[in-house]
Amino acid sequence: MIRRKLTKPEKLTIETNIQSENTLGYGIFELIMKGKNTANTLFAMENHAYTNRKKKPNLGRYEKIRKEFESGEEDLFKRFLSVTSPEKPLKEYKFFDLFAGCGGMTQGLFQAGLQPVAAVEINPIACATHKKNFPNCFIHNKDIREFNPTDWTRDGSIEEINVIAGGPPCQGFSVAGKRDPNDERNRLFWEFVRIVKEIKPWYVVLENVPGILTMQKGQVYKTILGAFADIGYPNMSVNVLESATFGVPQFRPRAIFIANRFGLPNPYPNPQLTPDRYLPIESAISDLPPDTARPEINHEWTRHSQKMTARISKVPPGGSLYETFFDAWKRQYPGIPSMTIKENHGGTHIHPYLDRVISAREMARLQTFPDSFIFQGTMKQAMWQIGNAVPPRLAEVIGCALIPFLNAINIEVIPSTSNATLFSVFSFSWHSARPVLSASIKIFNSKGKSTVPVLRAFSANFPFLLIPLV
C-alpha cells in the first residue's frame, strides 16, 4: 500500500470526524497533525466508523467470575486503600519474587518502594532479562524445588523478608485454553507454600488468572486458602483486579491473593479510573516509529510477506486473521485499552492502524514496562517474556497498598518476631479535629499470654485495626 503525507483538506476532514465522534485515539491524531507518515490513516478512519456501526469489544470475559465470587461470603480481612498519594516506606522492605519470569512483579514492587533481594525463575532467557534489569537481586535459575531460602545470603542464615510475591504457572488454570486440574504446573504453588513456610514473610501476594477461582467448582481456590492457613496465614483474601482501572492501557484482570501472619487486614488498592477514563492503546504506542525498528529498545515485530500484509489489511477492529485463533492475530480496537497481551509464536495482536502485528516494545508499553527495561533473547523470546508478565503498574499499586501495613508492623504495633494476633481493643477515641486515632491495644502471643499494652497513634488508614480479629 502506498504511503504519503496527507493533504491539508484530508487532515481537516479527519480532525472534524475525530472531534465529532470523540472516540478515535488521540495518539494517531497527534501524529497526523505533526505531518508524519502515518500508515493507513484513512483506513483507520474507515475501520473506526465500522467499529461504531458494527462490532463492539467484549470486555466482560471474566466479569461473570468476578461477580459470582464477590457475591459470596463477606471477607472481614479485605480492605481497600487509596493509593493516589501513596505512603512512603519507613525502612527498606525486602521481598522475594517466585516464578518471577522477566520481572514484571519485581519491577512494580520496586517502583512502589520495596527492595528485591531474590527471585526464582527456571527459564534462562527470562533470568537473563531479570539479571540485566535488577543486577543486585539474587536470581535462582533452577527448578524452584531446588531452591533453599538461605541460598541468597552470604552466611547461610535466613534474613527477615517482608513480602513474598509471585505467580505459579497459570496455563492449567486459564479459561483461555483447556484447563487440566491434574496439570503438573498447577501443583507448583505448593513450592510457593513451602518457601513461605520456611521464610515466614510478613505478607504474601500470589497472582493468577481469575479462572482459578472457579476451577473444579472452587476447590482449587479453597485448597490454596487452606494451604496458607495451615502454615500460619489463616485469613487469606482474594480479589479480582482489572489492570485498566489503575492506568494500564490494557484489559488484563488478575486474581490477587493476599495474606499476613499477624491477623491484620489484607490491603488492596482502590480502583483509580472508571471505564470512561481508561487509557486507550494509542496513549502507550503512538510515539513509536511505525515503520522503523529500534532493536536497542526491543521495538521489533514479525516481518510479513506482501500476501500476509494484504490479508491483515482486511481485518477489522476486533476481527481475527484466523477463525481458529481466539487470543491472537486480532486487530485492536482504537480509542480503548488493548485486549490482553499475549504471545503466540510471533502472532501477537494486530496493530489498530498498521497492517502488521504489534512490536515487542509496543507489547511492553501496553504492559507498562518502562523503555529502560530491556528484554534479552530474540524478538520472539522477548514477546514470550512480555506476554507472560505481570503489568508492573498493577504490581506497583499492590505494593503501595501494602506499605502502610508494613510500616505499622515496623513501628511494632504488632511484634514482627512473634506469632502475635490482634486480640482486643478496650478503649479508643476519634479526634474529629485531625485524622488520628488513638487506641489502647492488648496483644496476646501464641500461648495466650498478654504482652504489655501499647498506646499508638494511627493514621486515617487504620481505623479498621480496632476490629477484634480472632
Q: How far apart are CA 313 and CA 1, in angstroms?
A: 9
What would the grid cell of residue 176 be?
483461555
Please name the amino acid found at residue 70.
Answer: E
Residue 271 main-chain phi, psi, to 5 deg:
-55, 140
Contacts 24+ apart (CB under 8 A), 168-172: 168/98, 168/99, 168/192, 168/206, 168/208, 169/99, 170/208, 170/209, 170/212
Known catalytic residue at 137: no
Q: How far apart are CA 167 and CA 102, in angstroms?
A: 12
Number of other CB atoms surrounding residue 30 within 10 Å: 14
Task: Return the sign of the alpha-carbon dihedral for residues 438, 439, 440, 444.
Answer: negative
Task: Return the sign of the alpha-carbon dihedral for residues 110, 225, 239, 463.
Answer: negative
* SS3 call for 46: helix
Please count the CA atoms within 13 angstroms of the CA of 168 that sit on its side-chain side: 21
- Which of the residues 102, 137, 170, 400 is marked catalytic? 170
CB 423, CB 443: distance < 8 Å: yes
Q: What is the distance of C-alpha 445 from the center of its chain? A: 35
Q: How far apart are CA 260 and CA 271, in angstroms?
A: 22
CB 352, CB 363: distance < 8 Å: no
* SS3 call for 54: coil
Which amino acids are annotated catalytic? 170
